[in-house]
Structure 1
Amino acid sequence: MTKTVLVLDYGMGNLRSVAQAVQAASADTGVSVVVGHDPQQVRDADRIVLPGQGAMRDCMAHFADSGAQQAVLDEVANGKPLMGVCVGMQMLLQHSEEQDTPGLGLFPGEVKRFRLEGRLQPDGSRFKVPQMGWNRVDIARPHPVWAGVASGSHFYFVHSFHAAPAHEAHVAATTVYGDAFACAIARDTIFATQFHPEKSAADGLRLYRNFLTWTP
């Protein structure tokens, strides 16, 4: 039987590029890529990708309105693999400082705004928010989704808020922009990144492929 990955379309993801990247990563894996938000699609899929782009409050509202939210929570509770991307990662935490928004609560912790006002980078320029561009990612602990990706590889970021998990054991990778912060989190059957694998060339596609073939 063909396995499927559902890329959730709830109106707030960088959907086209994520779906295309997951499709490219699925070559020769035997995994079929489906785009949608119907609760039955959530239940039928073997794994789920949760993208997100824009303001956290809007993403949470659209996700709830899509009808898929409870189905996703139920399926993850039953052990279905989930990969969150960008705001899709932030949504997994309990709360965001962005518009005082509750999250899904799958990870203890909150999402915090960059506080870099008045601080200078090593070249003397001011830090800009959002962080936008390539940055080094240091792997904090081994995980099957990191297979073939070296610690210190560079991935593409666009964000003004960052995750602060309550438990260090949930931090899968860190990066530094002014201060060090968690740029990937993981527990049980969930893996999520603040950076955009779909914009991160070969290493980004490798992450998606590793997620598609991961057996938690």
Structure 2
Amino acid sequence: MIGIVDYGRGNLRSVEKALAKLNFPAKIMTEPEELKAVQGIILPGVGAFADAMAALKEKSWIEPLRQYAASGRPFLGICLGMQVLFAIGEEHGEHQGLALLPGRVVRFSEGRKVPHMGWNTMHQERPSLLLKGIPEEAFFYFVHSYYAVPDDPEVVAGSCDYGVRFPALVGRDNVWGAQFHPEKSSPWGLTLLENFGRWVSENDCVSSY
């Protein structure tokens, strides 16, 4: 079972429908206690970094999400859900993230239309099980004004150009994030979600709660 974290800042239904299309059981979770019953989670997100972290704090998700990541079970952040995996976000001031990956989230510089919205090709920087079956320079759908700057370049598995080279797919161990919306990036976005779903299905980690 894949859990989709509901903290009031995500496209929950579109993610749920994409997983259903791929025949992976999923549930929208409204309480942190529900993390105990799922083998993998997706953290979606739209909007501002500070608002997302405030909502996660208000609904008591922050420490349970950190504990879930530490348990070794598959964890995928999408768009803003990817950005809050990092330590610091610079949107409307400096704000603490989940700090599951080292680095900052910064705004695109002047000279390009912001937000970066639409389709872009992704260059694969290193192998990832999430990229299985996805060709080099495949197109994905983006909507964002900020991008991650990891402290460790080794966490970048895929990147895109938009006036600057920015991470499109990041991760290490069991914690991964996609800056694009895989649920809106058919067919390759669905392939990535299918790879995640298979990973969850094969995952034999037990709850550490």
TM range, smaller chain: over 0.9
Q: Distance in 1 between matches of 2:101 and 2:69?
A: 12
Residue 151 of structure 1 deviates from its aligned partner by 1.4
Output aligned runs, 1:27-176, within 5 Å: 27=23, 31-99=24-92, 100-115=94-109, 117=110, 119=111, 127-176=112-161
Q: Distance in 2 between matches of 1:39 and 1:131?
A: 32
Native 8 Å contact 1:134 1:157 kept in 2: yes
Residue 182 of structure 1 deviates from its aligned partner by 0.9
Amino acid at match of 1:101: H
Residue 44 of structure 1 deviates from its aligned partner by 1.2
Q: 2:187 aligns to what SS in structure 1? A: helix
TM-score with structure 2 setting the length? 0.92
Residue 19 of structure 1 deviates from its aligned partner by 1.5
Determine which of 2, 5, 11 is the counterpart of 1:5. 2
Please name the residue that 1:17 is paired with. Answer: 14
- Summarize deviations over 1:187-208 as a string: whole Å, max 9, x none: 0001210000011011111111
Native 8 Å contact 2:44 2:80 kept in 1: yes
TM-score with structure 1 setting the length? 0.89
Q: Is there any run of 5+ residues in structure 1 with no aligned partner, and where?
A: 120-126
Determine which of 157, 162, 187 is the counterpart of 2:172. 187
Q: Distance in 2 between matches of 1:24 and 1:71?
A: 29
Native 8 Å contact 1:157 1:194 kept in 2: yes
Native 8 Å contact 1:37 1:68 kept in 2: no
Aligned residue pair count: 200
Q: Is there any run of 5+ residues in structure 2 with no aligned partner, and where?
A: 204-209
Native 8 Å contact 2:100 2:175 kept in 1: no
Instruction: Tell me the C-alpha RMSD between the 2 structures.
Output: 1.1
Native 8 Å contact 2:19 2:25 kept in 1: no
Q: Distance in 1 between matches of 2:41 and 2:35?
A: 7
Amino acid at match of 1:22: L
Q: 2:118 aligns to what SS in structure 1? A: strand
Q: Does 1:203 align with 2:197?
A: no
Q: Distance in 2 between matches of 1:32 and 1:68?
A: 22
Q: 1:201 aligns to what SS in structure 2? A: coil
Please name the residue that 1:178 is paired with. Answer: 163
Answer with 180-189 or 33-42: which moved more. Answer: 33-42
